């Protein structure tokens, strides 16, 4: 079973709200390229700020990535350091 890909605002590639970082991650594009294209399109009479604000409200933020240390399930395993 494959995990369904979902558009979410990025937590790692964000400058303001993570919208363009999330779009770049979703499509597999370079974040810098995505931002440049967005600015160019916004300068051509496209209301880019309105799109960005709406996307910021509508697109959910990616969940936090937690890094928990995993331990061996065997409680009998010796985990003390060797004193030589």
**What residues does each domain of the chain span?**
19-58
Whole-number average pLDDT of the chain: 81
Token pair recorded at residue 26: 């979703």
Task: Work out the percent of the chain whose per-residue pLDDT is above 90.
Answer: 37
Question: What is the pTM (predicted TM-score) of this model?
Answer: 0.67
Give the model's pLDDT for residue 84: 54
Residue 27: alpha-carbon gap to chain centroid: 12
Residue 30: alpha-carbon gap to chain centroid: 13
What is the per-residue pLDDT across 66-79, written as a single tens digit (0 to 9) for each?
665 555 555 565 55
């Amino acid at each position: 079973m494959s995990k369904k890909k979902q558009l979410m605002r990025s937590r790692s590639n964000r400058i303001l709200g993570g919208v363009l970082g999330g779009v770049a991650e979703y499509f597999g594009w370079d974040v810098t390229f995505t931002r440049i294209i967005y600015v160019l399109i916004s300068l051509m009479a496209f209301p880019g700020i309105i799109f960005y604000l709406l996307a910021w409200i509508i697109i959910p933020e990616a969940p936090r990535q937690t890094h928990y240390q995993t331990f061996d399930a065997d409680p009998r395993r010796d985990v003390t350091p060797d004193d030589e």
